[in-house]
């Protein structure tokens, strides 16, 4: 006797829901590359399935952070974004709030490894309050750093400290360049006699002329 087949129910089986993932993002300035490795290790220990990172300044626009854009695009409802501190997403309070609110509206959880924020176990009102306070504090700190930097540069200039690219030529060579240029010699002629490229000769002339004004 043939085996009885189960009757058709008239619909296809539903898709198995995708498992929620935990993605990490780190950001560090170009002057503190070692801090990036520290953040990566922390994110790995937190169990992040995939880690993204940018090495740029905190004042840059989101469009200048390709890895952040990839990370945010990969996050779906129920997923978790893990960052070392909330200011990894930016230093502007407005940008930070817009970004965080956008993730929350998409159903994405946000967790900071400094222990200050974990939206998966906090009421939405408390999350917005914490984000606002943290964003404001980060923005005030950035303004303070900028102020100290500006004041420090002003004091250094008064003491004769010069900023910018370090010169790759001596003052004697610069004087020779200016003397030859005053005689009507071209960049190529000057550079050939001093072992310099025409572009370097041009930079020397521009710098020496500007400093003489």
Q: Is 29 one of the annotated active-site residues of the chain? A: yes
Domain ranges of the chain: 22-142, 171-212
CATH of domain 22-142: 3.40.50.1390
Neighbours of 7 (CB within 10 A): 6
- For all residues of the chain together, what is the average pLDDT? 79
For residue 110, what is the enclosing H or E element? Answer: strand 109-112
Q: Regarding predicted confidence, which is higher, 135 or 202? A: 202
Of 104, 45, 55, 50, the residue nearest 78 (C-alpha): 104
Read off the pLDDT of residues 154-194 as tens digits, 9 standing for 90 and up: 787 777 766 666 677 888 899 999 999 888 888 889 988 89
> Of 89-98, 159-168, 197-206, where does mean pLDDT reach its minimum?
159-168
pLDDT band at 3 (very low <50, low <70, confident <90, very high): very low
The active-site residue, picked from 29, 42, 60, 69, is: 29
Q: Regarding predicted confidence, which is higher, 29 or 72? A: 72
Q: Regarding predicted confidence, which is higher, 211 or 128? A: 128
Tokens of 13: 């089986």
Q: What does the chain come to in residues?
A: 213
pLDDT of residue 7: 42
Percent share of the chain, pLDDT over 90: 24
The yes-or-no verdict on residue 18 having pLDDT over 60 is no
Cα diameter, the chain: 112
């Amino acid at each position: 006797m043939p085996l009885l087949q189960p009757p058709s129910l008239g619909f296809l089986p539903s898709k198995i829901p995708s498992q929620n993932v935990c993605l990490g993002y780190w950001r560090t300035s170009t002057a503190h590359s070692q801090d990036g490795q520290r953040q990566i290790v922390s994110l790995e220990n937190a169990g992040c399935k995939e880690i993204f990172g940018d090495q740029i300044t905190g004042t840059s626009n989101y469009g200048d952070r390709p890895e952040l854009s990839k990370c945010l695009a990969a996050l779906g409802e129920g997923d978790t974004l893990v960052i070392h501190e909330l200011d990894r997403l930016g230093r502007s309070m407005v940008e930070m709030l817009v970004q965080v609110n956008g993730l929350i509206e998409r159903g994405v959880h946000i967790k900071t490894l400094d222990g200050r924020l974990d939206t998966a176990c906090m009421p939405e009102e408390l999350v917005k309050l914490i984000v606002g306070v943290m964003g404001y504090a980060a923005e005030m700190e950035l303004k303070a750093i900028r102020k100290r930097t500006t004041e420090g540069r002003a004091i250094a200039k008064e003491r004769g400290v010069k900023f910018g690219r370090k010169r790759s030529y001596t003052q004697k060579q610069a004087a020779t360049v200016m003397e030859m240029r005053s005689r009507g010699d071209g960049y190529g002629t000057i550079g050939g006699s001093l072992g310099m490229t025409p572009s370097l000769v041009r930079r020397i002339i521009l710098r020496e002329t500007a400093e003489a004004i």
